């Protein structure tokens, strides 16, 4: 006969899940009987440590020991070994079968599956409410597993100040082994030759051209006896160099699990995502030599006047794309210059259009900067990134590969925090009619002022900014750049006003 305590909540069967279910049930039955681990150990002649490992899902007892446990707890043998779980504990199947739980790198944060099990067992009702809250938030905001994995990767980078010594050293060792240590610009052809000669890789620049549907794909890696690397022939030499360096990174770092397509729109696991990140980090470290670049920026920061042309000359010296250069700064400046309050973002814009899409945000500052808000709202038009993209859209006669550069000091209206931003903008080499910008911003604090000589250059424009037009309290007279009315700000002000009136009413009634 079915036990009335048991529901119809089977869990996916694998050895790890069997251990979790057994551990979950044992702890629940023990707590229901009011027994401590020591008391149960005494009743069963099993050690406390052994019982603890069963409850944590680390061990699965032999049948004769399960029988001892069942008899000591006064429950049927089948209740302990059944794959069914009680209705009040139906969160367990959700956790054990959830793609989020299976793929999320809990161990990276010092949390194990056993810790989750302990949370549920401790108070099933409250733990269930907590975890279901997160699941509902994910559904309401259309958050998929990859969103959480990318968030986990960003947190991993922030924990390490986006600097990874082991990868830096591997890139430096590889460069030294090929005589490139003192060469700021490694030619794409040299990297290509290494892949072809050392790894017997066949590089194909023709095939991808026949698939217009794959416009955004830059390269595809195909494993085999003779591995192939399909690459877009239209890429700039600097972009090809990055892809070649990235492929070398997989091999130097011995990264097996990976995404074959670059850039990838999907992933299979967090390990895959992390390995892709490490290979890209290796490429940046190889192409932008750590010691050379730090020396160059030590000199650059001593300037007392901002010089955009000198900044562009540095990018040209290393033969990389502006995007790669700016992102490399987010790896080195926090570590070697102490500029830790830094954030980097990229915005794309159809040339001449009014929509601006945030396509990348990496925030190492303590400011809460929204990450995906631009899908429905309009970014503040006072940011230099928007201004440069507008200029590109209006100046149709720009020569190919034109890069605009500008610096700006911006003060956030609500918080009063001031940031110093360097923005680069240009046309996309692959997407016709699309312009893109990259910005690296530093919070202007005392350390920034001591480190960067041109921080207070009077020639640098200043602006009051906000996150989006919808959230901005500036009047129409104060801001001529506004794209849409401040709808969210107005609702927030109306709510504040209602709260103020309600509080005053309550106070008046209390005093009467």
Domain boundaries along the sequence of the chain: 15-143, 162-287, 292-486
More confident residue, 95 or 496: 496
Q: Which of 406, 435, 428 is closest to 239 using CA atoms?
A: 428
What average pLDDT does the segment 208-219 reach? 87
pLDDT band with cut points at 50, 70 and 90 for residue 133:
low
Q: Any idea what DSSP says for residue 6?
A: B
For residue 433, the model assigns a pLDDT of 83
Question: How confident is the prediction for the chain on average, in pLDDT?
Answer: 83
Instruction: Please give the pLDDT value at position 136.
Output: 64
Q: Regarding predicted confidence, which is higher, 123 or 410?
A: 410
How many Å separate Cα 91 from the centre of its chain?
28
Q: 327 pLDDT band (50/70/90 cuts)? A: very high
Does residue 144 surpass a pLDDT of 70? no
CA of 266: how far to CAs of 147, 248, 273, 283, in Å? 11, 22, 9, 21
Q: Which residues contact 476 (CB under 8 A, 6 or more apart)?
A: 482
Note the CATH number of domain 162-287: 1.10.10.2910
Confidence of residue 281 (pLDDT cuts 50, 70, 90): very high
Q: Quick one: fold of 15-143? A: 434 Repressor (Amino-terminal Domain) (1.10.260)
Which of 447, 427, 174, 466 is CA-nearest to residue 301? Answer: 447
Closest CA relative to residue 229, chosen from 258, 192, 254, 266: 192
Asked whether the beta carbons of 96 and 11 are under 8 A apart, the reply is yes
- Percentage of residues in the chain with pLDDT exceeding 90? 39
User: Pairing relation of β-strands 228-231 and 219-222?
Assistant: antiparallel
pLDDT for the residue numbered 107: 67
Q: Quick one: pLDDT at residue 484?
A: 78
Report which of residues 176 and 477 the model is more confident about: 176
Answer with the residue of higher pLDDT: 1 or 62. Answer: 62
Tokens encoding 60: 């699965």
CB contact set of 84 (below 8 Å; sequence gap of 6+): 6, 7, 8, 9, 10
Closest CA to 369 of 414, 404, 324: 414
Identify the top-confidence range among 20-24, 53-57, 266-270, 341-345: 341-345
Which residues are within 8 A (CB) of 75 and not within 5 positions of it... i.e. 6 or more apart? 29
- Average pLDDT, stretch 136-163? 73
d(CA 370, CA 367): 9
**What does pTM read for this prediction?**
0.75
Residues 6+ apart with CB under 8 A from 120: 24, 89, 91, 92, 95, 127, 128
**469-512 pLDDT per residue, tens:** 777 788 777 787 777 788 887 888 888 888 889 888 888 888 87
Give the residues across from 361 on adjacent strands. Answer: 345
pLDDT score for 374: 45
Locus of tokens 């006072």: 382
End-to-end CA distance of the chain: 68
Of 394, 263, 261, nearest to 323 by C-alpha is: 263
pLDDT of 235 above 80: yes
Mean pLDDT across 21-31: 83
pLDDT of residue 334: 94
> Which residues face 404 on adjacent strands?
425
pLDDT attached to residue 335: 94
Per-residue pLDDT band at 373 (split at 50, 70, 90): very low
Distance CA 91, CA 121 (A): 10
- What is the model's pLDDT at position 267? 65
Residue 320 confidence (pLDDT): 95
pLDDT at 2: 40
Q: Tell me, yes or no, if the two domains 15-143 and 162-287 fold the same way.
A: no
Mean pLDDT of 334-351: 90
Other CB atoms closer than 10 Å to residue 362's CB: what's the count? 17
At residue 1, the pLDDT reads 36
Percent of the chain scored above 70 by pLDDT?
80
415 and 367 in contact (C-beta within 8 Å)? yes
Confidence of residue 9 (pLDDT cuts 50, 70, 90): very low
């Amino acid at each position: 006969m079915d036990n009335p305590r048991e529901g119809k909540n089977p869990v996916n069967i694998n050895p790890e899940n069997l251990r979790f279910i057994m551990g979950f049930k044992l702890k629940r039955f023990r707590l229901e009987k009011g027994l401590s681990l020591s008391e149960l150990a005494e009743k069963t002649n099993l050690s406390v440590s052994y019982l603890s490992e069963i409850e944590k899902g680390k061990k699965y007892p032999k049948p004769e020991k399960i029988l001892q446990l069942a008899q000591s707890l006064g429950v049927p043998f089948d209740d302990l070994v059944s794959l069914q779980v009680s209705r009040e504990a139906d969160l367990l199947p959700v956790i054990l079968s959830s793609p989020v739980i299976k793929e999320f790198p809990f161990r990276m944060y010092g949390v194990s599956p056993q810790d989750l099990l302990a949370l549920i067992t401790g108070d099933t009702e409250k733990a269930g409410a907590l975890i279901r809250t997160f699941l509902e938030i994910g559904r309401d905001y259309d958050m998929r597993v990859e969103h959480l994995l990318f968030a986990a990767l960003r947190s991993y980078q922030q924990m390490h100040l986006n600097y990874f010594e082991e990868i830096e050293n591997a890139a430096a060792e590889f460069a030294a082994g090929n005589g490139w240590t003192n060469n700021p610009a490694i030619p794409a052809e040299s990297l290509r030759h290494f892949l072809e000669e050392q790894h017997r890789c066949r590089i194909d620049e023709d095939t991808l051209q026949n698939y217009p549907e794959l416009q955004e794909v830059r390269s595809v890696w195909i494993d085999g006896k003779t591995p192939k690397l399909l690459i877009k022939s239209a890429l700039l030499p600097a972009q090809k160099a990055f892809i070649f360096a990235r492929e070398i990174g997989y091999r130097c770092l011995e990264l097996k699990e990976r995404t074959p397509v670059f850039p990838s729109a999907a992933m299979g696991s967090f390990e895959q995502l992390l390995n892709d990140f490490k290979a890209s980090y290796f490429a940046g470290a190889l192409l932008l030599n750590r010691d050379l670049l730090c020396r160059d920026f030590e000199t650059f920061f001593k300037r007392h006047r901002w010089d955009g042309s000198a900044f562009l000359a540095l990018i040209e010296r290393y033969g990389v794309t502006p995007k790669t250069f700016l992102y490399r700064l987010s790896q080195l400046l926090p570590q070697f210059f102490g500029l830790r309050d830094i954030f980097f973002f990229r915005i794309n814009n159809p040339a001449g259009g009014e929509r601006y899409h945030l396509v990348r945000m990496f925030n190492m500052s303590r400011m809460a900067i929204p990450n995906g808000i631009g899908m429905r709202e309009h970014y503040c038009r006072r940011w230099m990134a928007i201004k440069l993209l507008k200029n590109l859209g209006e100046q149709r006669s720009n020569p190919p590969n034109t890069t605009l550069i500008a610096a700006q000091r911006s003060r956030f209206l609500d918080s009063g925090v001031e940031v110093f931003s360097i923005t680069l903008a240009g046309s996309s080499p692959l997407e016709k009619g699309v312009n893109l910008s990259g910005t690296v911003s530093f919070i202007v604090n005392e350390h920034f002022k001591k480190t960067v000589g041109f921080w207070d250059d009077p020639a640098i424009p200043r602006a009051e900014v906000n996150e989006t037009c919808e959230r901005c309290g500036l009047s129409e007279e104060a801001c001529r750049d506004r794209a849409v009315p401040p709808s969210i700000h107005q609702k927030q002000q109306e709510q504040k006003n209602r709260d103020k009136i309600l509080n005053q009413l309550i106070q008046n009634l209390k005093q009467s």
